[in-house]
Chain A
Amino acid sequence: MNIPFFGDLPSDVLVAWIFSVILGIIVSIFIIKKKKLPVIWEYIRTTNHRKIGTMYILFGVLFFIRAGIDALFIRTQLALPNNEFWVFQYEKYNEVFTTHGTMMIFFAAMPLLLGLMNVVIPLQIGARDLAFPFLNAVGFWLFLAGAIFFNLAFFFNTTPDVGWTGYAPLSTSEYTPGPSTDYYVFGVQISGLGTIFTALNLIVTIVRHRAPGMKLTRMPLFSWAALITSFLILIAFTVLAIGLYLLMFDRLFGTGFFSGDEGSPVFWQHLFWIFGHPEVYILALPAFGMFSDIIPTFAKKRIFGYPAMVISLALIGFLGFTVWSHHMFTVGLGPMANTFFAITTMLIAVPTGIKVFNWLFTIRGGVLRMTVPMLFSLGFIPSFVMGGVTGVMLSVSAADFQFHDSHFVVAHFHYVILASTILGIFAGLYYWYPKITGYMLDEKLGKWHFWLFLIGYHLTFFPMHISGLQGMPRRVYTYGADEGLTTLNFLSTIGAFLMGVSMLFVVWNLYKTHTKKEKVGNDPWNGRTLEWTVASPSPEHTFDPMPVVKEMDPFWYAKQENRELETTTKTRAAPIAINTIIPILMAFSLFVVAVGLTFTWYWLAIAGGVLLFSLFIIRSLTDERKDHYGKGVETNE
């Protein structure tokens, strides 16, 4: 379809424009009618951890739905052999799986996890906020700027189509000229920067802002997982940042790191997977942490083998950096390298197995309550183990030559990531929803969501093991009718739509919960850790007076012994909360830089840079610490 200014637009892009404009109008009318503008203005300037966490979750869910719709397009296209669904063949299919992968990893899973950490970690360890509230806001807005930048590509019909791994030389300007891949490079770069800042912030918070008596050995496991994950982020995302930095030079400034007769495409693969493999654990460890907090609560039992749980988290984190080349078994690194990476990969199954057994032993002999968060946790264990088993199969490098780039791999990584990260996020959202909003999500609808999602998930991905073994390659948009793949693919498609339907129950649940408006108390789940001692939703000023922690699960044992938690008014200096517009402007200026570089309008990139530096200076001159630091001696008296 030819549209003035935009040129030839395919019908899916046109539909997206129409849909977005209509949705935008409806949302705007709603905001103005309900007089929500002041609320939005408040959230734009906030530095409070719960509010920032809420925004992370809100946009994470939004992008999750968008990437989920992409998944439905993929499955519809693959439902039948030689199918021609709408426009999703050839390049369009490449675009849709690239978008699905990139969005799910960077703009759905990451923000949902960071959002939950933002809300929960300070409450769990007795901190009044993250150590650097301003930086926290910067991190969030950088994520959003990157995500919006990436999403824009679709609306201008220049969606990246190089896969979420962006393999060179396909991702260099020789093979993907034009702006499409730049949207990937800068979108991921900007949001990755935000992730690094948030990780730094979480580490300082957990190390320095714990309540008195909250030793590391008494800390809830979700906080432990967040701490270890943050270290992984620091290393992994930094390497990714440099990989993208080099790719940017290759694309824009005529270097040849990853292509040509001097460059090395394999170097990109190394850089990407040194990020990419730890990223898998960055996604999984927080989920492990959440399950480790949720299962004891609903089994009414202390976690089994707490030290082993912590050590295995750390071991998984460490080993996560020694396995990246198992994504590259077929590259030809030689038998020595392949053997090394095969063995390290198999080793990871050991600490992971320890965790699985500890969860099972926590459940054993417990008094179980089958609430929605608990159901998700119980659904996670067997599903994740299945993904783990195929992981060990894939680690056998000789066998991997058969599995590589087939639907078997697709089945494996969806099994592990959905079981851990996505089921973990759902469990966490149902569990901490009262802390975020003050309302409980409806249990009955939650159970519908759980069962439909779990059944849909297995129905989608289990057949892929078989279709993969029968030779169905990933990233190919169709297959022949005579290849014996039709039934398996059709089952997968039914499963995907079941998951889609289950998400409708989430929407219904949200609507119901927020129209009923039934406030709950501090401790709706009969919880064990400190976050259940503060009001729901958590107020801006928490822990006054500050609880003194004498053991693990302090709140639980206080309730058991019918006593109040001991408190103190002697606390360390709290982080300084402010309202500021600067973080969103900083993210905006980087957005402008990205636009300038993508379209090689260098004047615009420079303007964005100047804006960013001006904001640094303004920030430096209006430091909130000025009003809090000693009024005594001043410079230049």
Chain B
Amino acid sequence: MNDYEIALFKDKQMGFFIYLGVEAIMFATLFATYFIFTPAVKGPHPSDIFEWKSLLLSSFFLLSSSGTLILAEKGFTQGDKRKFLIGLGLTFIFALVFLGLEFSEFYRYVQEGYGISANTFLSAFYVLVGLHAAHVLFGACWMIVLFILYRKKTSTALYTEKLKIFSYYWHFVDVIWIFIIVLVYVPYLM
């Protein structure tokens, strides 16, 4: 990157960090909502429905995807095309697996009668974890666009920028997931 590109990239970086700050406030408000309404005065208790198995499995895939993304970034800066494509491809696949697991978890809950309107705990659970899942889905679509951009001729400087911004987003989504594990699930699995 030359000076011109660095200046514009730094603008974008700062803007995106502020945006992630906005997202953090959003999630913080939803976490607060969850604390207020969980456990609810009536209806299902979180310890009745949460399971270690599905939590560990989905966490494994989502958290590893941060690692594979770092691999992809390394591959790109080293000019190692194979490493880059494998890294980003794995990130994409892990994201899809996570979404699949999340969806099947939600599906199971709904089948057992634990839908969004069952009680306030489940309402708060779905609006928080569901919004996070929407972020993962958005990230997965974003990766498709990154693949397309890679195939089309894009200058290295521009692609570096786009990849960096995406990685900030993806790591942020992972960090939120860690908060979800620690604050939403684990207190009721112990």
Contacts and interface: CB of A to CB of B under 8 A. Distances in A.
A131 B145 CA distance: 24
The interface residues of chain B, by DSSP majority, are classed as: helix
A563 interface: no
Interface string B38-63: 00111100000000000000000000
B120 interface: yes
B159 interface: yes
A41 interface: no
Contact of B117 (A241, A255, A271): A255
B26 A238 contact: yes
A238 B116 contact: no
Most chain A CB inside 10 Å of its own CB: which residue of B8, B42, B141:
B8
Contact of A257 (B19, B41, B124, B149): B124
B71 to A, nearest CB: 17
Given A132-B15, A200-B19, A256 B156 contact: no
A234 interface: yes
A569 to B, nearest CB: 14
A245 B127 contact: yes
Nearest to B81: A636
Interface stretch (B28-36, B87-95, B102-110, B181-189): B28-36
B126 to A, nearest CB: 8
B78 interface: no
Contacts of B82: none
A255 B123 contact: yes
B116 A635 contact: no
A239 B3 CA distance: 37
A201 B14 CA distance: 10
Contacts of B117: 253-256
A235 B153 CA distance: 39
B18 interface: yes
Interface string A231-245: 000110011011101
B127 A246 contact: yes
B37 interface: yes
Interface in A553-591: 572-573, 575-576
Nearest to A571: B7
Contact of B153 (A573, A630, A635): A635
B100 interface: no
A629 B158 contact: yes
A256 B123 contact: yes
B178 interface: no
B156 A630 contact: yes
Contacts of A132: 11-12, 15
A267 interface: yes
Contacts of A238: 22, 25-26, 29
Contacts of B161: 625
B10 A208 contact: yes
A242 B36 CA distance: 15
A635 B21 contact: no
A634 B154 contact: yes
Interface string B139-159: 001000100111111111111
B131 to A, nearest CB: 8
Contacts of B3: 573
A636 B150 contact: yes
Contact of B151 (A196, A254, A636): A636
B158 A262 contact: no
A333 interface: no
A39 interface: no
Nearest to A132: B15
A336 interface: no
9 contacts: A238-B25, A242-B29, A245-B127, A254-B116, A256-B123, A257-B33, A262-B119, A634-B155, A636-B150
Interface of B: 1-5, 7-8, 10-12, 14-15, 18-19, 21-22, 25-26, 29-30, 33, 36-37, 40-43, 116-117, 119-120, 123-124, 126-127, 141, 145, 148-159, 161-162
Given A135-B15, A201-B15, A238-B22, 20 more contacts: A132-B12, A208-B11, A238-B29, A242-B30, A245-B127, A249-B123, A253-B116, A255-B116, A261-B41, A262-B40, A262-B119, A575-B11, A616-B145, A621-B145, A621-B152, A625-B8, A630-B5, A630-B155, A634-B156, A636-B153
Complex A-B, nearest 8 residue pairs according to Cβ-Cβ distance, in ascending order:
A254-B117, A255-B123, A573-B7, A242-B29, A238-B25, A629-B158, A262-B120, A633-B156
Interface of A: 131-132, 135, 196, 200-201, 203-204, 207-209, 234-235, 238-239, 241-243, 245-246, 249, 253-257, 261-264, 267, 271, 572-573, 575-576, 613, 616-617, 620-621, 623, 625-626, 628-636
